[in-house]
Structure 1
Amino acid sequence: MELELPDAAATQRLGEDLGRVLPAGTILLLSGDLGSGKTTLIQGLGTGLGIVDPISSPTFTLVNEYLEGRVPLYHLDLYRLDGHEVNDLYLEAYWDEQETAPGIVAIEWAERLDNLPPQAVHLALTYADHGGRNVTLSTQNPSHRALLENLLSHGLLVDEV
């Protein structure tokens, strides 16, 4: 499913819509060039989850945890790392429910993961000709796919391209 995001506010709204409905255990894999809206989308996700703390990209800390929302948000940023360094971090702890409280895991620069988490929702953000952004959402998880299609059909997500 591809959506048009005409501005940063639309990107934020997409995150908010997702934050209101995604269940704990959801893994979001975000990819896109610098400035394509990954952090903006996650800021909206936090708003939709009811997180009041400001959300910033954990480029240097690698992980920010926000535990006060509807479900916890684990925000990871892999920008500064290569595949070998990513593998050494044991990030699986964030989607292994025995290690952390079940929440939503949002990973910026997810293309740097060698082993992608199973059943994740992929969000690929790209620049659009009109100055906005486009996002392609895809998943192999039937329940996530149905949830995304339901959101779109009820107008909760921004318009489809």
Structure 2
Amino acid sequence: MEFIFDSVDCTIELGRQIGSICNPGDIFCLTGDLGTGKTHITKGIANGLSVKEHITSPTFNIVNEYHSGRLTLYHFDVYRVSDPDEIYQIGFDEYIFGNGVSIIEWANYIEELIPDQYVHIKIEKLPEQGENFRKITINYFGDRYEYLKELSI
């Protein structure tokens, strides 16, 4: 699936739709350059999960946990991870194989740790169309994510 948006609000709304229909154990891997909107789509997913806390990028913590929604949200930022063992030391497997929803920003940095079934969300800037234009491409791997076909914006 591919979406082209010209506002942060549309990116957040796409995330909200995903969050409103996602299931326990879902894994979302986000990739894209700095400033493309990875945290904005995460905020939308959190909103769709009815998370009440303020969502921030866990750049220095590796993972932030949010427990106030219909499912627990685990928000990873692995931009500063230099060794995959760092991820294992925080209990990565317990998070992603648990009953919460895991969102991994900069997932391309730890590709070898990502399970076979996940959703890849790639966000790209489209400067030739305007400063706020983004192309969001969603690919899912595994039958459990067939529900994403319902997305429409």
Q: Which residue of 1 aligns with 2:108?
A: 111
Percent identity, aligned pairs only, is 34
Alignment check: 8 A CA contact 1:12 1:45 kept: yes
One-letter amino acid of the structure 2 residue matched with residue 78 of structure 1: V
Q: Map residues 90-109 of structure 1 onto 2, 5 A cutoff.
A: 90-97=91-98, 102-109=99-106
Judge conservation of contact 1:30–1:108 (CA < 8 Å) in 2: yes
**Alpha-carbon spacing, 1:149–1:84, altered in 2? closer, same or farther (3 Å):** closer
| Residue pairs, 1:7-46, within 5 angstroms | 7-46=7-46
The corresponding residue for 1:130 is 129
SS state at 1:122 partner: strand
Structure 1 segments unaligned to the other structure (5+ residues): 153-157
Alignment of 1:138-149 (within 5 A): 138-144=139-145, 146-149=146-149
SS in 1 for 2:53: coil
Runs of 4+ in 1 over 4 A off after TM superposition: 85-88
Q: Distance in 2 between matches of 1:45 and 1:88?
A: 25
Match of 2:3 in 1: 3
* CA RMSD, Structure 1 to Structure 2 (Å): 1.4
C-alpha change, 1:83 and 1:135, in structure 2 (3 Å) is: farther
* Matches of 2:40 and 2:104, distance apart in 1: 13
The alpha carbon displacement at 1:109 in A equals 0.3
Deviation at 1:27, TM superposition (A): 0.2
Aligned letter for 1:127?
Answer: K
Pairwise CA distance, 1:86: 4.3
SS at match of 2:122: strand
C-alpha displacement of 1:140: 1.7
TM-score, normalised to structure 2's length? 0.90
Cα distance in 1, alignment partners of residues 17 and 107 from structure 2: 21
Q: TM-score, normalised by structure 1?
A: 0.86
Size of the aligned set, in residue pairs, is 148
Output the amino acid matched with 1:130.
Q
